[in-house]
Amino acid sequence: MGIESFWLYAAFVAFILAMLAVDLGVFQRNAHAVSMKEAAIWSGVWIGLSFIFAGVVYFWQGSQLALEFLAGYLIEKALSVDNLFVFLLLFGIFAVPRAYQHRVLFWGVVGALITRGLFILVGSALMARFHWIIYVFGAFLVYTAVKLALGKDTEVHPQNNPVLRIARRYLPVTEGYEKEHFFVRRAGKLWATPLLLVLLVVESTDIVFATDSIPAVFAVSSHPFIVFTSNVFAILGLRALYFLLAGAIEQFHYLKPALSLILGFVGVKMLISEFWKIPIGVSLAVIAGLLTVAIVASLLRARRLSRVETAADTGTRA
């Protein structure tokens, strides 16, 4: 069975659907606020499965594709962590109760898997037919990197979301949340709840995110299956990661600069691919190195600020 076999895709999707069914049907049967312990366990499960999958690829297809998977996974994971800032703001703006946030993220992930699959299908078809599209992707990533470095378009304005506007115009919406339901029936009429509106905003926002992440992963792998699986594993761990980092996500002060450098690097990698192919091992080292430096520097900065605040409080009491 080849790396791009239909049955391989089918088996992988069946496995993912089974894991999602276990998550929703067993662990999330009753809506509840996800604890740090539960989030840590699920984060460990998805990260562990990702590295097991990388090991399977290594013994099945060799080190090249395994490294491509890991590089794509790290890129998508880093971008996903950055996206958590947006989800945190959206849940705050819509005042979504913590007990219902997991349900929104769960169905948001299901929708993201579908849209990412379509994006990858279209992207791989374009790259196979039009080789020059790789330069378009590369230029777009460099542009995105510059925009991210300059801090443009970082604010969230869900009221300007066209999907939300259309939904509010054509759907009857209840005044408040109806537990974890997206729809309720009243007097024989089907009503949408605000939770559905939040889901629509999350889904449409993820489509915007995909325009950055998909080309970025294509920069490190030309195999659609590797691009798809690295995206899927990174996205599936996003929900647990959100609840694990929600309280401390603002401490990752240097994540955006690191992401800007990563996107710029993979963009340039695409633009010069015709003249010089950067080895996948080098690409993985650069991506992992930038993320490591950003995380360590962010944690040191947070510790330093905490000490300054503690000292200031002590001085005020004195």
The ranges of the chain with pLDDT < 50 are none
Q: What is the pLDDT of residues 20-41, one digit of tens each?
A: 777 665 556 566 666 777 778 8
How far is residue 115's CA from residue 204's CA, in Å, rounded to a whole number?
10
Mean pLDDT of the chain: 83
pLDDT, position 125: 86
pLDDT, position 248: 67
pLDDT, position 52: 94
pLDDT, position 69: 94
